[in-house]
Amino acid sequence: MIATIVITNFNYEKYLGRCIRSCLNQSIAEPYEVILVDDNSKDGSLKIANDFKNFKNFKVIANKKNIGVAASANMAFKKAKGKYIVRIDSDDFVSKYFLFFLYFYMKENPQKLGVACDYRFIDDNEKTIKRISASQKPIACGILYNKLKLSKYGYYNKIFRHREEEELRARMGNNYKIGYLEIPLYRYRMHSSNKTKSNDYKFSYKDKILDIYQNKIFTRTKKFSKKRNIVAIIPARSGSKRLKNKNIYNFRKMPMIAWTIKAALNSKFINKVYVSSDSKKILDIAKKYKAKTILRPKNLSDDKTPKILAIRHAVKQLSKDNKKIHIVASLQANSPNITALDIDTCISDMINKNKSEVMSINRNLNQNGAIRVMKYKTVFDKMLSTHFSCAINDVVDVHTINDLKKIEN
């Protein structure tokens, strides 16, 4: 059997039939199976599932208690007979060519862990809202995995009721190597009862991922960092042309800069966090959120002054206090979705790859300016270092309200 499609469901009787039909109606000659795991639904989901009992390749697992999507999916993965496994949310559905394209991609690329395809956001009437690139904005579902390869990593972490796929990627690190098909074969339904679209869920589960994996993936770096003074410097001048007072603009009940300070303070490697600004108001806010402060002169605070000059000024001020600095992490004040994991990944890359500096870039391979980690000497180099590396993350450089909407979405 080539593949097993796993549908995870909880109280989605409204959409379940559409989902099952799309999975059973795949245009592929090779045999496959569909396993529905119902997570103790209280609506008529099981009754709807029973309507498909005559399909020999359709099976139902009914949980006696609610155990969450990750544990439910794992249960089905272990019972799956297919060489490849893929999970579908019961409020979504797929194109009839979904399995055909993903299976033949894996057949031609056996070295890959899995493959994802582009998807469409749809409304309750199945009208397309937007087409999304899976390589730029990956989702948890619709990824066809090699079962044997994924099983070596223990599938999903069952304590995660949401963001289970993101936790898997963090746990696997560089071993998470999947391909992408630029064909929109997955339909991702947008509706008010979908919890994974709630920002509270997004932020709380992302924090949980960071708490679990920061201690596991940086062992070598941690030993090195104990012998080195690593400081974070957050340049935050007053004024801005597009979004007024952007560095202290209120975002999710905190000034924007506070999110960067929080991430830096949660870093496993950074010893001290400093905010450099010409604004007393910004410096007072920085102190409130437990950062140290450096008053920057006005001649280094206009919009034409390169950021590196502000960093050099701050480092010189710290050096005057006989504070030997080995590594400097320049962090952007207007990137509120920056995380400690993003910062520590850059620091770890620089140390483990023995680079002069590491810059963060987005998935389009453009520098986002959010993080720049440098050795002390590199801070004062007149020429840009050619001995550098890049770390990919999803950090957004906020200049407008629309940029904030990107984070919310």
Residue pLDDT tens, the chain, 409 long: 999 999 999 999 999 999 999 999 999 999 999 999 999 999 999 999 999 999 999 999 999 999 999 999 999 999 999 999 999 999 999 999 999 999 999 999 999 999 999 999 999 899 999 999 988 888 889 999 999 999 998 899 887 777 788 888 878 877 888 999 999 999 999 876 665 444 444 444 455 555 555 555 455 555 555 668 899 999 999 877 778 888 999 888 899 999 999 999 999 899 999 999 999 999 999 999 999 999 999 999 888 888 899 999 999 999 887 678 999 999 999 999 888 888 988 888 888 778 888 888 776 656 667 899 999 989 988 665 555 667 666 777 787 888 777 776 5
Reported for 269-273, long-range contacts at CB under 8 A and 24+ positions apart, including other chains, are 269/218, 269/221, 269/222, 269/225, 269/230, 269/343, 269/344, 269/347, 269/348, 270/230, 270/231, 270/232, 270/329, 270/343, 270/347, 271/229, 271/230, 271/231, 272/231, 272/232, 273/231, 273/232, 273/234
pLDDT score at 215: 52
pLDDT score at 350: 84
Tell me the three state secondary structure of residue 398: coil
pLDDT score at 199: 46
Measure CA 39 to chain center: 26
Residue type, position 225, single letter: S
Tell me the three state secondary structure of residue 51: coil
- Which domains are present in the chain? 3-196 (3.90.550.10), 214-408 (3.90.550.10)
Tell me the three state secondary structure of residue 345: helix
Torsion over CA: 180, 182, 185, 191 (sign):
positive
pLDDT score at 367: 62
* 401 backbone dihedrals φ, ψ, rounded to 5°: -60, -35
**Contact (Cβ atoms closer than 8 angstroms) between residue 119 and residue 188:** yes
Q: Which two tokens stand for residue 81?
A: 């007979």
Q: How far is the C-alpha of 191 from the C-alpha of 182, rounded, in Å?
A: 25
* 158 backbone dihedrals φ, ψ, rounded to 5°: -70, -15
In terms of Cα–Cα distance, which of 127, 147, 235 is closest to 190?
127
In terms of Cα–Cα distance, which of 58, 401, 369 is closest to 235?
369
Residue type, position 189, single letter: R
Give 3-state DSSP helix, strand, coil % of the chain, rounded to 5: 35, 25, 40
**Beta bridge partners of residue 9, listed in sequence order:** 38
Q: How far is the C-alpha of 69 from the C-alpha of 130, rounded, in Å?
A: 26
In terms of Cα–Cα distance, which of 17, 33, 164, 147 is closest to 99?
33
* Nearest-10 crossing angle of helices 199-213, 164-172: 30
pLDDT score at 198: 47
In terms of Cα–Cα distance, which of 144, 140, 128, 129 is closest to 181?
144
pLDDT score at 207: 52
Q: Nearest 5°: CA angle at 376, between 278 and 271? A: 70
* Nearest-10 crossing angle of helices 340-352, 199-213: 30
pLDDT score at 201: 45
Residue type, position 148, single letter: L
pLDDT score at 203: 47
Tell me the three state secondary structure of residue 33: strand
pLDDT score at 213: 52
